[in-house]
Each structure stands twice: as C-alpha cells, then as structure tokens.
Amino acid sequence: MKLRLHITCEIYTNFYNLSFIIPLKPLLNKTTKPFIIYVLIVLMISIPVYYFVVDMIWQNELDEHNQIIVEKTAYEFNRLNLSDQELDKSLALWNHIQPETNIERISANRVKKDTVYTSEKNLPFISEHKTERYRCLKKVIYVQNKPYLFTIRTNIEESHETIGVIAMVTVFFFVMIVVGLLYLNRRLSASIWKPFRDTLKQLKSFKLNSQANIEFPTSDTKEFEELNQSLYKLIEHNISVYKTQKEFTENASHELQTPLAIIKNKLDLLLQDKDLTEKQYQIVEDMNRALTRSSRINKNLLLLAKIENSQFDNSENISFDDLLHQSIDFLQEHFDQKNIVLQKQISSNIGVNGNSSLTEVLINNLIINAIRHTSPGGSISIQLTNSVFEITNSGSEKLNADLLFKRFSKLSADHNGSGLGLSIIKEICKFHHWTISYKFENNQHIFIVNL
C-alpha cells in the first residue's frame, strides 16, 4: 500500500515538475492550429482547381455556342433558296460583317471532321499590345448540297482576371472561416470545458493530508463524468491507503521505540556492572552502539515516511537565518573537537515558507554531514542568501553523485551514520519544493540548496 501511494505521489510530482520544463499549450490551441493550417492548404490548392474547372466549363459552353451558331447559319442559308450568284454575294457579305466567322467553298475531297481548338490572336486595332484567347470551331456545312468550311472564333474571358477574382473570393472565405472558427471555439470552450476546468480546480486545491471529501461538479458530457468517477475512486483509494500508512507510522513509532528504549536502559545498567570482564564489557558496548544506531535508523525511517505521506504542515513563516545560527551554536563543540575552521557568510532576515522542524533537520543534517566528512584541521564554509543555502567542506575525492541521495548508500568508511541523512535532506527539499545539488571543485565538497 505504501508503494502504491508513493507511486501515485511520484506521478503527480513528476507531472508538476515537468510542467516547468516543457512549455504547455491549451488543448484548444492544439486542435485549432492544425485545423486552420489544413483549411489554408485546402483553399490554396482550390484556387488553381477552381480556375481549371471554371475554364473548362466556359470552353465547353463556348463550343456548344459555336456549334449552335454554325448549324443555325447553315439552316437559314438553306431556307433562302438563293441562286449561286446570290449565294456567293451573301456569303461574302456575311464574311465581311462577321469578323470572327468565315465561310468558304471547299471541294468534296477537303471534307473533314469537325475541329475544335483554342488559339491566341493579337488585336491590331488596340493601341496596347494585347493578346486574346479564342475558342475556335471548324465545321463543314452543306448549303444547297454544296460543302462549305465554316470557321468561327469566340473570345474567352481573360485568364488572369478569372484567377484573380477566384483568389480574392477564396481569401475572403478563408478569413471568414478562421474568424468564425476562433469565435465559435472560444464560445464553445467556455461552456463545454467548464466542468473540466472546475474538476481541475478541485484537484489543485486538494490535499491528501487534509483527508477532506472532494466534490466534483456534475456534467452531462459522458467523458467528463467518467473522468470524475475515476478520480473519485482514485482519491478514495489514496485516502484509505494514506490512513492505513499513517496508522502504521504512528503505531511503529510508539511500539518500536518503547522496546528499543528498554533494551538500551538494560544495556546501560549492564555496563555499570563491575563484575563484567573486559571482553564482556566490549561485547555489551558494541551491542549498545548497534542499538543506538538501530534506534536512530528507526527514527529516520519514520521521519521519511511522515515526509512522504505529507504529515507535516508547510504553511509556517520561517526565519532561516535564525535557525542556521542556532544550529551552528549547538554544533560548535563538534567544530572545536576537530579543529575545523568555520567561515560564515549569512545574510539577515531570510524568510521562507515551510515547516520549521523539517527545516531545522535539513540544516543540522547538512552541517553534521560536513563535519563528519571533514578531516581534522579542515575547513567548512556556510553561506546563506535570499535564494541559496550553501555548505562547503574540504575533501580529497569526489562523491558518487548517482548514489549520493540514495538510502543506505555508503560513500565513506564512516559507519557511525545511519545512511539516511542525505536521503532525508532530499525528501525535505522535495517537500518544500526546493532543489539540492552537489559538486566537487578545488578539493571542496559543495552542497547547494536553492530555496
């Protein structure tokens, strides 16, 4: 149960920390941007497609128009029943007054199939050099049973004007689509996503150690309601696990410390027995040291469990510099015993929000760790600013950064420690949302806490 709760807390913590590394974007922007890009691409492709489709329809209409003109002209000439001389005059007059048509007599061996094509022609009667496109039809007609080649040309609308108009219309509708989409998305987002935002707000304000029941808003959206139900079950399970873990921690704290204290008292009494031999005295002394270390490990493990289960209040206003001065004064005897040179650069009025007891443990553990791993006659430097708490002690070899904050990792030959001091420091920093780092420069071990 403890592992499951720890994993859940780790997921929340990792997600929280990840949000500061990766710039997050609203879900609405992630869906709107690709849609707008897709619409833009489609509309840009549609401009030439529109042009070719309209041009093809226009050409088909002109072909049909030319076909009708030719057939109607042949029909009207046949209805006149003109003589050959009158017919020739009429055709000449027709060719003169109809500049884009031509009817000429052909021999029977020149009769061919209808020909439809597009041509370009310069207009000499216009001052500007301008070329027009024409849709042409060459068709053989029979007037009074004689073959004639009828040629007709019809002007096609300017292509650049057509594509220009299509482009402007397309851009206009694209702007209308984008503006309308953004407006509708904002309006719909305010109503559709409101239950989700309310749920998110409830989760942000929820604290596991308060054990208060959380009430999610009801929603008529199936997915949001399923999300709320799943969150209900998850939170209820975590509260249950938290209560069980808290009870275990409290029971272990009471039940384990009592027998350990009794055993230690018995050993102290045994050590005062004058009938003990030197060998027996040494055995009892070793047992007493091991018991003392076991008691310290038990207290530290219980402290870690309480920190991980958020059983500490973090809303206090702490004077960090005052706590630091108190710890230095309390541990001054240890500095003197090893003749350690202490250098202090501590700013005044450094206030932080958190838990004073845990902050005091962090300060003591860091200073004790520095004292323990500093050779006699060495030096320790303590610095405190508004944002950084730094402890530096002399050393000869860099520590393994991968094992540094792991529980029961042994980085030195000193067996007096519990192997949990730096792990507790790491958890306290995580509890306060601080960060701790380690580096080794110029034969100096440097631990930096960013407040």
Give Cβ neighbours of residue 394 (< 8 Å, ≥ 6 apart). Answer: 374, 375, 378, 379, 380, 443, 444, 445
Q: Which one-letter DSSP state was computed for residue 374?
A: S
Within 13 Å, how many C-alpha atoms sit on residue 202's CB side? 17
Query: Position 441: which residue type?
Result: E
Residues 343 and 382: beta-carbon distance below 8 Å? yes
Print pLDDT tens along the chain (451 aa): 443 444 344 444 444 444 444 455 666 666 777 888 888 888 888 878 877 888 888 888 899 999 999 999 999 999 988 888 888 899 999 988 888 899 999 888 888 888 999 888 776 655 566 778 888 999 999 998 899 999 999 888 666 677 778 778 878 888 888 888 888 877 877 777 788 888 888 888 777 766 667 777 777 788 888 888 888 888 888 888 877 777 777 677 667 777 878 888 888 888 787 777 888 888 888 888 888 877 777 777 778 877 876 778 778 899 999 999 999 999 999 999 999 999 999 999 999 998 998 999 999 999 998 998 898 999 999 999 988 999 999 888 888 777 788 877 665 555 555 567 788 889 899 888 899 999 998 889 999 999 8
Give the model's pLDDT for residue 12: 42
Q: How many CA atoms lie within 13 A of 240 on its CB side?
A: 8
pLDDT given for residue 68 in this prediction: 93
Distance CA 282, CA 302 (A): 30
What pLDDT sits at residue 19?
Answer: 43
320-326 own/partner pairs: CB under 8 Å, 24+ apart: 320/350, 320/351, 320/352, 320/359, 320/384, 320/389, 320/451, 321/346, 321/347, 321/348, 321/349, 321/350, 321/384, 323/356, 323/359, 323/360, 323/363, 324/363, 324/382, 324/384, 324/389, 326/360
Q: Which two tokens stand for residue 418?
A: 């519990």
pLDDT the model gives residue 395: 85
Measure the CA–CA gap between 73 and 140, rounded to whole angstroms: 12
What does the pLDDT read at residue 346? 92
Contact 156, 137 (CB under 8 A): no
Pair of tokens at residue 81: 């029943």
pTM: 0.48
Residue 193's pLDDT is 79
Region of residue 219 (phi > 0: left; psi between -120 and 50: alpha; otherwise: beta) = beta
Residue that has been written with the tokens 């050590």 in this structure: 271
Contacts of 28 (CB under 8 A, 6+ apart): 185, 189, 193
Could you tell me the sign of the dihedral formed by the alpha carbons of 425, 427, 431, 437, in that order?
A: positive
Residues 449 and 223: their CA atoms lie apart, in Å, by: 43
C-alpha to C-alpha distance for 445 and 439, rounded to whole angstroms:
6
Q: How does strand 115-122 pair with strand 131-143?
A: antiparallel
Domains in the chain and their CATH numbers? 51-161 (no CATH), 222-307 (1.20.58), 312-450 (3.30.565.10)
